[in-house]
């Protein structure tokens, strides 16, 4: 407020001073140009010059500012289009996440040419078209995405590979992924799809070479990678013999299996599951003696029921020694169910039928199971004891869950109670 009063005081003082000077001496100005002469006071000339300056300044601003309204209108229109595009893109992405493929394709494809980031729109439209089975538009949108953002080759290639896998073109997808892997060796998405493709194609050797990269770049959890690794090596061991020529010798088959076993990492070659897998591969290769020797060595170090169970299914050239060894184990652990069943089976290999029955019955007394009852039923049937075989089969059925539907069954009734009553009626009628 004080500042305003001071300024007002200065203006009034200046105006009073100038007014006094104008009264004392108005001055005289003569302007002559050719035949035109203008006479006026100096103060009128100053006032005229100031007004002329204001008019010229306003005219120049008006002249140079004529384009301003059009520029503002253009900026406003571009902003409106950008907001509308962003809004429709958002709706398209929501429709895509909800599985509304037709709406997603329409919204994303229409806004892609004017979108700030057309790559997202084109890839989303390609996904929607693919889900609808529209191959032509899918390929067209992927091509437009590559044209709009050639620097995003990995993202575009991943979606293209996924499309080719869904179409059943695994070889084409594999070519794309190998190229992407060369462009970005550490990309988690590329490594994940490569791993899935190797599994789908049952290319276990290729997947084994990829496992270190999956673990290093943490593409999957440690548990998932361990499960994949175990599956790969198990499949590899199971397929070693099948890959060899039919006329290959037992020695060549054993060498191939031994090479595969040595290729296993230390974390796997001591697990009961992998030991069992290798022993079965040896049996498949036609070498039961080597399978027995291998299992025997690991059972002594790893007392595992599954390995003992498998040990009892091997028929070797020295079956008596094999059998006596298990009996020596059984003496130390007479209440071990897996050893009882193993002893029973090996007794059958050596035609020690009474011993086999004894060990099966001991196992049933210790831990009844449907499989043991069935084995004993088959043994009794082979011995001609049909009643006992039937009894064991019935007990096996009692331990087996009955998933058959509940429907009426025939029930025998005493026909002597009534001459008119039927000999057979349904279970429902008997209850009524």
Domain residue ranges in the chain: 25-64
> Could you give the CA distance from residue 178 to residue 273 in angstroms, rounded to a whole number?
33
Res 261 pLDDT > 50? yes
> Could you give the CA distance from residue 3 to residue 227 in angstroms, rounded to a whole number?
84
pLDDT at 248: 83
**pLDDT by residue (tens digit) across 316-337?**
999 999 999 999 999 999 999 9
**pLDDT by residue (tens digit) across 369-407?**
999 999 999 999 999 999 999 999 999 998 887 666 767
With beta carbons less than 8 A apart as the criterion, state whether 88 and 111 touch. yes
CA 55 to chain centre: 75
Q: Which of 114, 97, 166, 177 is nearest to 138 (CA)?
A: 166
pLDDT at 4: 72
Q: What is the pTM of this model?
A: 0.64
**pLDDT by residue (tens digit) across 23-68?**
666 676 666 776 777 777 776 767 777 788 888 878 777 666 555 4
> Could you give the CA distance from residue 206 to residue 208 in angstroms, rounded to a whole number?
5
Residue 311: CA count within 13 A, CB half-sphere:
30
> Could you give the CA distance from residue 349 to residue 358 in angstroms, rounded to a whole number?
15
> Could you give the CA distance from residue 250 to residue 253 in angstroms, rounded to a whole number?
5
Res 414 pLDDT > 70? no
Name, in order, each residue with C-beta under 8 angstroms of 335's C-beta and a sequence gap of 6 or more.
366
Name, in order, each residue with C-beta under 8 angstroms of 327's C-beta and a sequence gap of 6 or more.
343
Question: Which residues make beta-bridge pairs with 411?
Answer: 425
pLDDT at 432: 42
Give counts: helices (H), strands (E), the chain. 21, 4
**Residue carrying the six token digits 């593409």:** 219
């Amino acid at each position: 407020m004080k500042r305003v009063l001071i300024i007002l005081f200065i203006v009034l003082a200046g105006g009073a001073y100038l007014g006094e000077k104008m009264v004392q001496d108005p001055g005289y100005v003569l302007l002559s140009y050719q035949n035109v002469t203008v006479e006026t006071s100096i103060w009128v000339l100053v006032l005229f010059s100031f007004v002329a300056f204001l008019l010229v300044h306003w005219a120049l601003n008006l002249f140079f500012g004529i384009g301003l309204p059009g520029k503002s209108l253009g900026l406003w229109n571009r902003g409106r289009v950008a907001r509308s595009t962003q809004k429709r893109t958002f709706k398209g992405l929501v429709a895509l996440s909800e599985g509304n493929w037709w709406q997603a394709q329409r919204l994303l494809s229409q806004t892609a040419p004017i979108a700030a980031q057309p790559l997202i729109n084109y890839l989303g439209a390609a996904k929607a078209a693919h889900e609808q089975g529209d191959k032509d538009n899918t390929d067209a949108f992927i091509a437009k995405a590559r044209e709009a953002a050639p620097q995003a080759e990995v993202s575009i290639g991943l979606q293209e590979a996924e499309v080719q896998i869904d179409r059943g073109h695994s070889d084409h997808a594999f070519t794309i992924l190998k190229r992407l892997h060369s462009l970005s060796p550490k990309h988690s998405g590329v490594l994940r799809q490569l791993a899935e493709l190797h599994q789908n194609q049952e290319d276990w050797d290729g997947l084994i070479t990829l496992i270190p990269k999956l673990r290093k770049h943490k593409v999957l959890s440690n548990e998932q990678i361990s499960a994949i690794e175990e599956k790969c090596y198990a499949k590899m061991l199971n397929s070693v013999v099948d890959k060899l020529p039919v006329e290959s010798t037992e020695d060549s088959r054993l060498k191939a299996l031994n090479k595969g076993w040595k290729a296993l990492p230390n974390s796997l070659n001591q697990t009961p599951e992998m030991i069992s897998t290798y022993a079965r591969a040896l049996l498949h290769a036609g070498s039961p003696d080597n399978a027995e020797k291998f299992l025997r060595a690991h059972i002594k170090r790893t007392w595992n029921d599954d390995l003992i169970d498998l040990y009892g299914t091997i028929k070797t050239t020295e079956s008596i020694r094999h059998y006596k060894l298990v009996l020596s184990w059984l003496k130390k652990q007479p209440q071990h169910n897996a050893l009882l069943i193993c002893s029973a089976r090996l007794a059958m290999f050596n035609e020690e039928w009474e011993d086999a029955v004894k060990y099966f019955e001991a196992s049933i007394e210790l831990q009844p199971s449907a499989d043991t009852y069935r084995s004993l039923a088959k043994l009794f049937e082979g011995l001609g004891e049909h009643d006992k075989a039937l009894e064991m089969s019935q007990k096996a059925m009692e331990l087996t869950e009955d998933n058959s539907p509940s429907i009426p069954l025939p029930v025998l009734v005493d026909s002597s109670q009534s001459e008119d009553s039927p000999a057979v009626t349904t279970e429902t009628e008997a209850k009524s």
